[in-house]
Structure 1
Amino acid sequence: MTDSDCALVHKDAVIIFNEKVAEIVTQDPLLQDLPPIVSTENVKELLELEIGKSIRVWLRKFDGDRVGIIVQREGTVLDLKKSISCAIDRSLSRHTDINWQRIWKTYYLYFDNQKLTEDAMALHDYGIQSGSEVRFLKRLTPKAPSKSVGHLAKVNSRRTWKDL
């Protein structure tokens, strides 16, 4: 057998193995939440969820779809952000690069009329528990006043209440 024959046999074996694992995962009720191509990290997250060490938080995306995010029960906002970025990156093609630093500078995570602004704060301090839903909220940047508005403000500041 040549090296090219071995490579072909190995490649075929990997394909068959992945197909069988995907078949097992889709048929087992405990493993149905795993992606078809499973990593040890996926299995670890799901096991921690099953034993209660982790919680599932739902992320409402802009298109209305929800994505399940698994995060440690005692996790922080920063842990949730890391879990979100990992889950979204896994769900998209491997060739897509998302600039998460820019995402977090542009959007807040939002839960129950609260902006999750403190990365070190525990999720339970915000009231987040298993089944809670978070979403992105665009950060608003204050506009700089134009020169003409500033000029009017100076003129108007000389007026008294009697002038109104």
Structure 2
Amino acid sequence: MTENDDQALLKKIQAEINELLKDELLQDLSSNPDKEELNALIAVEKGQAYHITVQRDPLPPIYIVVRQSSTVKDIKHLIRLEVERMDKQGTKKISWKYIWHAYCLMFEHQRLLDDKVVVSQLGMKQHSVLRFSRLAHQKGQHRKARHY
């Protein structure tokens, strides 16, 4: 095979993939899905994972796929990956250490403070909604101000 044959074959395969992605059953796939995204969507179809929405008022929501065996820590990692994927230019630098120190996730008016809790134990189901909640410090528990 020559290089021209390889390029023609590559264009043909890409055209077939694009045609498949137009099918209404595959509408929830991104234009360039990776292996993890495909495995997650297969798990959703088998009932082993959930579509979850993370509300970030006033910012647009984040949509993630979470397996039933995932923990709160895994959800936080998925949120981080999705936010980084949404901000492809990488112009903004987000301090995730600060975010998780100042905020926590909330599900049905219950704060998810323990990172080791499994999603299925929390009662999450398909299309559940998580929200960010500001963590209030107990009296006298504030960190000292930093002086530079």
**Counterpart selection for 2:55 from 50, 53, 60:** 60
- More deviation, 129-138/93-102: 93-102
- Higher strand proportion (structure 1 or 2): 2
Indicate the SS of the match to 2:18: helix
Per residue, is there more helix in 1 or in 2? 1
Q: How well do the aligned residues superpose, as a CA RMSD in angstroms?
A: 3.0
**In structure 2, distance between residues paired with 1:72 and 1:66:** 19
Cα distance, 1:65 vs. partner? Answer: 3.1
TM-score, normalization by structure 1: 0.67
Shift in alpha-carbon separation, 1:24–1:99, aligned structure 2, 3 A = farther
Q: What is the count of residue pairs matched by the alignment? A: 135
Match of 1:36 among 27, 31, 40: 31
The letter of the residue matching 1:31 is L
| Helix, strand or coil at the partner of 1:67 | strand
- Structure 1 outlier segments of 4+, above 6 Å: none
Counterparts in 2 of 1:85 and 1:103: CA distance versus 1, 3 Å: same
Asked whether 1:107 is paired with 2:103, we answer yes
Q: Summarize deviations over 1:134-162 as a string: whole Å, max 9, x none.
A: 01011123565xxxxxxxxxxxxxxxxxx
Q: Which runs of 5+ in 2 are unaligned?
A: 141-148
- Deviation of the 1:111 alpha carbon: 1.0
Runs of at least 5 residues in structure 1 that lack an aligned partner in the other structure: 1-5, 145-164
- Quick one: higher RCO (CA 8 Å, sep 6+), 1 or 2? 2
How far is 1:125 from its partner? 2.3
Answer whether contact 1:55 1:73 (CA < 8 A) is retained: yes
| Partner SS state of residue 36, structure 2 | helix
Which has the higher mean CA deviation after the structures are superposed, 98-107 or 111-120? 98-107
Secondary structure at 2:62 match in 1: strand
TM value normalised by structure 2: 0.74
Q: Does 1:130 align with 2:130?
A: no
